[in-house]
């Protein structure tokens, strides 16, 4: 990552006096709650001035890394997202929600760290630690069985696991991002995850083998800030010679989503044909979009990343995700099936 961006992130994550006081209060509360359950201890009365002074000193000299855990994006998230500027890094950090949930049993520990999201994509940062003596050195990891549900969300969604770069392939720890694609934002929802049997493979597609057996369940809130800006379009287009209407476009640094209506969704789906295999785990995008930037450059989604959903009721949703975040503020227009939609910021 650019050194200037890293330096800017350090400034962004430096806690204010108010945030230091809040962290100090949280530490005292944690100390009180832990001691309440210990026989022979009276909360706060046993908290000597020296401990108070030490805690205050801790808050005053807290490092950027620790501050980030409270206030901004985890460094693993930052490396995965790869923001293009210090302003974008700050914007992403301001939308993150810290979960800090740990599910531990004899088979390993699953940590749910942070969540970010927009109108149609939710990203969950997770760490997994296997029992001592187990080496997690495969290129890709996932779970044999995954189940996800929300308290108040009944619409269509898809999900998958992305393995992050492993800095030490000889240890028992890995980091992953779970990507959830949805028809509506999951902001404010409560998620329930259930994972069983961690599996690994050196290639995708490839043969996955079980690395750690076991089951891990966690429930947590998705209180991230929605990054998306929604644009009302209501523009007619032709898709494979069939009439359709682009209703809205949602744009954020992590995705572009188009919602359309048509009386010919089944015919459009049939006319799109079959995916073409372009390489290992790479398939052609049957409904590509071109993103046109203000500086005259453009990029087209030739390789499929995201989700396509066409139902029998006339609704279509196309979600496009990318290897790294986009500079969404510099987008001039979106071209879809030879129709250009101007984006007015």
How crowded is residue 301: how many other Cβ atoms within 10 Å of its Cβ?
19
Which residues are registered as beta bridge partners of 176? 126, 163
What's the burial of 177, exposed, middle or buried (CB within 10 Å: 0-12/13-18/19+)? buried
Is there a contact between 115 and 122 (Cβ–Cβ < 8 Å)?
Answer: yes
CB burial of residue 89 (10 Å; 0-12, 13-18, 19+): buried
pLDDT averaged over 10-residue windows placed end to end, the chain, 345 residues: 50 49 47 41 42 49 42 87 92 96 96 97 98 95 95 82 94 97 95 97 89 97 97 98 98 97 97 91 94 96 94 94 91 97 92
Helices and strands: H and E segment counts in the chain: 7, 19
Closest to 313 in 3D by CA, of 151, 156, 121, 118 = 156
Instruction: Tell me the three state secondary structure of residue 16.
Output: coil
Q: Could you give the CA distance from residue 178 to residue 167 in angstroms, rounded to a whole number?
A: 19
In 3D, which of 266, 248, 267 has the Cα closest to residue 258? 248
User: Whole-angstrom Cα distance, residue 231 to residue 242?
Assistant: 23
Residues 6+ apart with CB under 8 A from 190: 150, 151, 152, 219, 220, 221, 222
Q: What is the pLDDT of residue 17?
A: 53
Report residue 16 CA to chain centroid gap. 26
Residue keyed to tokens 């129709």: 339
| DSSP label of 329 | G
How many residues appear in the chain? 345
Q: Give the Å distances, CA to CA, from 106 to 175, 240, 279.
A: 19, 55, 39
Q: Are 116 and 92 in contact (CB under 8 A)?
A: yes
What phi and psi, each to the nearest 5 degrees, are found at residue 168? -140, 100
């Amino acid at each position: 990552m650019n050194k200037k961006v890293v330096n800017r992130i350090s400034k962004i994550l430096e806690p204010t006096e108010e945030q230091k006081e809040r962290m100090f209060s949280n530490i005292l509360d944690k100390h009180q709650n832990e001691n309440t359950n210990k026989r022979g201890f009276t909360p706060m009365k046993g908290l000597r001035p020296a401990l108070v002074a030490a805690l205050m000193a801790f808050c005053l000299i807290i490092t950027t890394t620790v501050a980030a855990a409270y206030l901004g994006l985890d460094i693993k998230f930052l490396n995965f997202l790869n923001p293009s500027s210090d302003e974008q890094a700050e914007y992403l950090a301001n939308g993150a929600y810290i979960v800090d949930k740990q599910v531990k049993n004899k088979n390993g520990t699953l940590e749910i760290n942070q969540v970010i999201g927009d109108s149609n994509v939710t990203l969950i940062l997770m760490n997994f630690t296997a029992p001592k003596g187990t080496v997690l050195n495969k290129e890709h990891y996932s779970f044999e069985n995954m189940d996800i549900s929300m308290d108040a969300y009944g619409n269509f969604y898809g999900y998958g696991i992305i393995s992050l770069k492993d800095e030490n392939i000889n240890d028992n720890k890995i980091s992953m991002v779970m990507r959830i694609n949805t028809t509506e934002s999951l902001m404010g929802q409560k998620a329930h995850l259930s994972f069983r049997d961690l599996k690994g493979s050196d290639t995708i597609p490839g043969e996955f083998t079980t690395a750690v057996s076991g089951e891990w369940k966690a429930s947590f809130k998705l209180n991230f800030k929605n990054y998306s800006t929604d644009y009302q379009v209501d523009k007619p287009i032709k898709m494979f010679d069939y009439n359709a209407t682009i209703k809205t476009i949602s744009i954020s640094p992590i995705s572009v989503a188009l919602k359309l209506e048509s009386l010919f969704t089944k015919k459009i789906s049939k006319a799109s044909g079959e995916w073409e295999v372009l390489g290992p785990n790479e398939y052609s995008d049957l409904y590509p979009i071109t993103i046109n930037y203000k500086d005259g450059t453009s990029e087209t989604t030739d390789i499929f990343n995201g989700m396509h959903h066409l139902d029998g009721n006339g609704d279509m949703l196309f979600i496009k995700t990318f290897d790294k975040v986009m500079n969404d503020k510099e987008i001039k227009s979106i071209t879809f099936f030879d129709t250009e939609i101007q984006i007015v910021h």
